[in-house]
Structure 1
């Protein structure tokens, strides 16, 4: 089978590729923390699901209008008018199965061979993919951390040319969490209006704003007639699998986008649209609750990442992603992301998955539970395996000498050293030891005793069950003496060593 040349120009979304690899590792028995996919971990609110059930029971399973059900288009027009402060007519609304078709159809309708499209980089990878697919020329505008990941406006103004047919903006932004402030939007709008260039405003994360007020370019002077607003239900209402999005645009373009719907998906499922109607008109408390929880998770993840060596993480104002700089590690983004997945079991995305200007960064989604975020941070803190091995070999030089030797050929003392060494690999906070010196030669006992002292100095906690009282009293800070299944005495080493009765009756050791 021979494929059309244009298929070679079509890219992909790396999040789904990483998700597939992570799932494969899980099938092989690995436990993976998923921070790669931009999907809320909340369930769709109950009243939305109930509306879909009622719609199915009422027979809403047939074709509907390609531009969307009239009642949903009216509700969207009302919602956008209220949230953006501009009048919107239902005829300006097109409903699609997910928000991506608005992006795809807008570019197909406006961009021809050799036409230029300005878009953010790092940015949602499908922007560049569809520009290339349509035969357009992608013109990236770097988003720089020092400006809050806003547009480099000076470069933007230089890169707008007579061949520019479309400007794409995204705020709050994926992958950086950056937000375009009013001043930035005004400069973009002024140039777009002066040159007559349409703007595709991707506002899918509008409700995920944690500081400041949201500003839409749609509400600025001269922009209502040249803005294509992209929004949807997947993020705000935790409806990713329902596939329901929409665009608001000038009527002539809405007619062209509707033609593309006719020629592709025909229409969006009617019962899904009625669920969307319930989402807009129903209780908004679940949305507010989810946003508040995401803000708390954002702070947890940012604070944790900033404690990691070589990592610097700005606190994003919106969306549900963090975009930490990893330049301090001295490693490329793709390598760090790969090692996190393969070695630490944490799925994240390389910054370069969002364009060349994402090098030096990773993207983590905090649309996951607090427990999983803490687990991911704990795993990411683990030192590199080679350094950990050298640390263990420094504790037990004999293991370094026998590193090529099979475990079953080691002596009893060496096997005990090996067991302790394995426990020490990674960030070990607590080690349980059950009679580690039993049956060992005095010299090996001394080695293990010295090792326990060193483990303590490095901050790990050791819970030791041991019959060698002298050794236990030397290394331990607090002791419980157990006889016949009952704790007979508890205290520190000094209180035991100074108690002749305890030493002789329970420990069988003559006091010094």
Structure 2
């Protein structure tokens, strides 16, 4: 029997992050000690009070279907959180999803038709491109890499890219993969262009609680953006709840109504008892969030210093827990192996995991060749070990 696959699945490639993670797991299964700096997963346990809230919810019988768009208590907690961020939403403008990716998928499917233009700010998280292609959209890109990943210096490029035909612009601040936090002036520039060309904007704020010495602004809080911004967030990063699979988005009621149809026919609802744990996360975990954020801050500073010791200057992230490392084409290890036709960053990452047993993600997966993304959601000991291995094998 020959299966005839839908054309839409041929439009996308497997996640580069997951592919590297899988390779790392294979090496570890063979007994290799891999320093895995590839996956964006906090290395802290879920806060104990959140775990207990999940257990209590199971014991209380919250194991059946929940209301499709989310349990009232969680939607109310989300609305309160959004209000604290300057966003004015009601509970019927919120959908709770099993993970942030599902939220993103529903937004793209509800808004994008075949050929609709989506504008991405590179480096951009790999799933934005995949979601666009699955929806049949076309992609235009604006590169921030020459501006140290800041958005304000490339606003003219963005203005030259968007038009009245642009359907959607994706803004991710704090950013994955760069850790950049966009300035108020940059966001105001986005606002002006969105209003001028009547563009809907996704504001992906999944890392909003993971910032260092800055206070990020929510795009939807700016004048003129309340009815054209879809704000996406979740619980994986700030509350170390990756495996719980819980996210949400808030936007105009008409979008929530349309996306809610897809939601009800696909996932039905987010897991009931997990939503009760989400209420606890939003209401009672400020201390745990600060503790994790402070640890990431210290690791960031240490990693910047370690790379400087090896002559590597990196753009210092203001948020998230990622860093983009420039990888030189004349690197000793790559001269020895040859890069062939593949991007140098891909060859660098493949060599790094094979030779130094350090897992990273090639920047070309995010639209910016010549860089590698490292996650510092790992202990200081493992980060030091990773840098030492890269240096010893000629990758720095």
The TM-score normalised by the length of structure 1 is: 0.73
| Pairwise CA distance, 1:96 | 0.1
Alignment of 1:189-268 (within 5 A): 189-268=191-270
Alignment of 1:485-500 (within 5 A): none
| Pairwise CA distance, 1:240 | 0.2
What is the DSSP-based 3-state SS (H/G/I as helix, E as strand, rest coil) of the residue aligned with 2:231? strand
What is the DSSP-based 3-state SS (H/G/I as helix, E as strand, rest coil) of the residue aligned with 1:188? helix
Q: Which runs of structure 1 show a deviation greater than 4 angstroms over 4 or more consecutive aligned residues?
A: 328-331
What is the DSSP-based 3-state SS (H/G/I as helix, E as strand, rest coil) of the residue aligned with 1:178? coil
Alignment RMSD, CA only? 1.4
Shift of the 206–329 alpha-carbon distance from structure 1 to 2, 3 Å rule, reads: farther
Please give the alpha-carbon distance, in whole angstroms, between the structure 2 residues aligned to 1:98 and 1:62. 18
| Pairwise CA distance, 1:179 | 1.2
- 2:164–2:198: 8 Å Cα contact kept in structure 1? no
Q: What residue number does 1:360 align with?
A: 370
- 2:120–2:139: 8 Å Cα contact kept in structure 1? yes
Q: What residue number does 2:300 align with?
A: 298
Structure 2 unaligned runs (5+)?
Answer: 335-343
Please give the alpha-carbon distance, in whole angstroms, between the structure 2 residues aligned to 1:45 and 1:166. 36
Q: What residue number does 2:109 align with?
A: 108
Shift of the 67–282 alpha-carbon distance from structure 1 to 2, 3 Å rule, reads: same
Among candidates 365, 370, 373, match of residue 383 of structure 2? 373
- 2:346–2:362: 8 Å Cα contact kept in structure 1? yes
- 1:115–1:137: 8 Å Cα contact kept in structure 2? yes
Among candidates 267, 279, 282, match of residue 280 of structure 1? 282
Q: What residue number does 2:340 align with?
A: none
Larger radius of gyration: 1
Q: What residue number does 1:382 align with?
A: 392
| Pairwise CA distance, 1:329 | 4.2
Deviation sequence 1:168-216 (CA, Å, 0-9, x none): 0000100011111000100110111122211000000001111222111
| Pairwise CA distance, 1:315 | 1.1
Q: What residue number does 1:435 align with?
A: none
- 2:20–2:359: 8 Å Cα contact kept in structure 1? yes
Structure 1 unaligned runs (5+)?
Answer: 386-512
Q: What residue number does 2:164 align with?
A: 162
Shift of the 306–329 alpha-carbon distance from structure 1 to 2, 3 Å rule, reads: farther
Q: What residue number does 2:353 align with?
A: 341
Please give the alpha-carbon distance, in whole angstroms, between the structure 1 residues aligned to 2:130 and 2:263. 20
Please give the alpha-carbon distance, in whole angstroms, between the structure 2 residues aligned to 1:277 and 1:267. 16
What is the DSSP-based 3-state SS (H/G/I as helix, E as strand, rest coil) of the residue aligned with 2:266? coil
Shift of the 208–145 alpha-carbon distance from structure 1 to 2, 3 Å rule, reads: farther
- 2:362–2:371: 8 Å Cα contact kept in structure 1? yes
- 1:323–1:362: 8 Å Cα contact kept in structure 2? yes
Whether 1:317 aligns to 2:327 is: no
What is the DSSP-based 3-state SS (H/G/I as helix, E as strand, rest coil) of the residue aligned with 2:227? helix
Which deviates more from structure 2 when the two are superposed, residues 189-198 or residues 42-51? 189-198
| Pairwise CA distance, 1:307 | 2.3
Please give the alpha-carbon distance, in whole angstroms, between the structure 1 residues aligned to 2:115 and 2:132. 10
What is the DSSP-based 3-state SS (H/G/I as helix, E as strand, rest coil) of the residue aligned with 2:139? strand
- 1:203–1:230: 8 Å Cα contact kept in structure 2? yes
Q: What residue number does 2:337 align with?
A: none
Please give the alpha-carbon distance, in whole angstroms, between the structure 2 residues aligned to 1:107 and 1:211. 33
| Pairwise CA distance, 1:381 | 1.1
| Pairwise CA distance, 1:147 | 4.4
Alignment of 1:395-414 (within 5 A): none
Q: What residue number does 2:338 align with?
A: none
- 1:148–1:179: 8 Å Cα contact kept in structure 2? no
Which deviates more from structure 2 when the two are superposed, residues 37-46 or residues 158-167? 158-167
What is the DSSP-based 3-state SS (H/G/I as helix, E as strand, rest coil) of the residue aligned with 1:102? helix
- 1:144–1:150: 8 Å Cα contact kept in structure 2? no
Q: What residue number does 2:123 align with?
A: 122
Deviation sequence 1:106-155 (CA, Å, 0-9, x none): 11111111110011221101101111111110111112243443262111
What is the DSSP-based 3-state SS (H/G/I as helix, E as strand, rest coil) of the residue aligned with 2:182? coil
Deviation sequence 1:249-304 (CA, Å, 0-9, x none): 01110111111111100000110000000111113101000000000001111111
Among candidates 63, 67, 70, match of residue 68 of structure 1? 70
